Amino acid sequence: MTLIDRLTALLGPAHVLTGQECAPYTSEWLGKYHWQPLAVLRPADRDQVSAILRIASETGTPVVPAGGRTGLVGGTEAQGRLMLSLERMNRIREVRPEARIAIAESGVILSRLHDAAAECGLYFPLWFGARGSATIGGALSTNAGGSNVLRYGSTRALCLGIEVVLADGRVLNLMSELHKDNSGYDLKDLFIGAEGTLGVITAAVMKLVPAPRAHATAMLALPSLDAALTLLNRLQAATGGLVEAFEFMPRSYQELLLARRPDLGLAFDRFHDVTILVELGATAPRDCTPGPDGTIPIVALLEDTAAAMMEEGLVTDAVVATSEAQRRTLWARREAAAEIGTPLSGPMVDTDICVPLDKVATFLARAESGVAALDPGAFPHCVAHLGDGNIHFAVFPTREDPELMEAMVRVVEDAVQDLGGSFSAEHGVGLSKLGSMRRHKDPVALDLMRTLKGAFDPGNILNPGKVLP
């Protein structure tokens, strides 16, 4: 039997796609990477994944795991390889409200888990624009972030346990439901963020939190990023850490938003250099219960803080949502980021970096001046999860010039390195950042990562060529 024959006998012909049947699986969302897989495999459960990897290990055939294929760094590029789509493994096995956990397979789309948690009065706080197509497995494999990292942490912080199939087909059961377990090495965290290079995550135990009973949401204009950091710290102190999102949308973002999505409008009647979308989430009755005049305490606290800072000249304008519809409108402007941040035509340099919170302004000044020196007509554009220092910094160069674009990446990453930051914050490494890994990752760390890769996947069949230069 040929390899494809063996896989077809295992999965059935409907779930081994070849040739033109693979068309929906041959590129990522941005269309930067294109490929033709040897076949797309769609297993139904963990045991089928195990059998696939045993066959792949025996035959030395590379396997590329894939979820919702919403990645931006080429992590699921699979030219001539077996693409392992986990889309059929989409069962939410259990939601346990008392323990505040959900047990879900890797193919579960994030929005489905949001809905399942909401039915129990709980919240799964991993929230970003692609939640309607991104999957739990993909989020774990890239250690995805999003808007709520400030309060709840990235995907790694939300995961208690995982089930993993190793390169040789063995199943590693790390499906712990424990919040404390000091019994040796924490193997779970090795697989989270490894982009499928060490094993295939097939299921996970995820944390749930109480659903906020009230939100306070506002768009604020400030004179500087230093003032924004003052606002963040005051709100955190006043609320006891209830800030869920703190999103930076500068003038360039507002300009693109008005040009490309005029239907969404703008919060203010003029452009500001610094605008912040801030959201507080509260569960305690003292913060959520309306007073005699209908005022919700958490909203009043946000309004009072903004008003006090206005008197100091640290806030220059404010729009506070007074209804759920207004809140959704404010968020729609932020969640349009992927749409408006992609050029209609022409080249784009896209980076995903993180620096310490008090160095964001310094980074932006250095990056923008460095880009301007290389290409005076280039248009720099950014949006940021300012509360955790994660900046999506993009540049639209005036010409398609690989050397120029690489020089821009180096300018950005050199500024990040000087400020003690990271060239990869939440999108992963994939193919796009291999050069960055080579230039900036500590050599000892790279040696240890290669040692781990060799130990977990001695045949180098799991997503080879990704993450490690």
Give mean pLDDT in consecutive 10-residue pieces for the chain, a chain of 469 residues.
96 97 91 93 98 98 94 93 98 98 98 96 93 95 94 97 98 97 95 98 98 97 97 96 96 93 94 97 95 94 96 96 95 92 83 96 97 96 94 95 96 96 94 94 97 98 97
Top-tier CATH class for 341-425:
alpha beta
Q: In 3D, which of 350, 371, 373 has the Cα closest to residue 425?
A: 350
* pLDDT, position 458: 97
Tell me which amino acid residue 407 is. A
Which ranges in the chain are annotated with CATH 3.30.465.10? 92-210
Strands 274-282 and 243-248: antiparallel
pLDDT one-digit tens code per residue, 393-430: 999 999 999 999 999 999 999 999 999 999 999 999 99
Centre a 10 Å sphere on the Cβ of residue 347 and count the other Cβ atoms it contains. Answer: 17
d(CA 74, CA 270): 38
Strand 101-105 versus strand 200-207 pairing type: antiparallel
All CATH 3.30.70.2740 domain ranges of the chain, comma separated, are 341-425
pLDDT of residue 291: 92
Question: Taking the mean position of all CA atoms in its chain, how far away is CA 180?
Answer: 26
HSE of 104, CA atoms in CB hemisphere, 13 A: 30
Backbone angles phi, psi at 354, to 5 degrees: -140, 135
- CATH fold group of domain 3-85: 3.30.43
User: Options 3.30.465.10, 1.20.1440.130, 3.40.50.300, 3.40.50.1100; which CATH number does 92-210 get?
Assistant: 3.30.465.10
Looking at the domain covering 214-324, what would its CATH class be?
A: alpha beta
Name the residue with tokens 């800030």: 243
CATH 3.30.70.2190 boundaries in the chain: 214-324
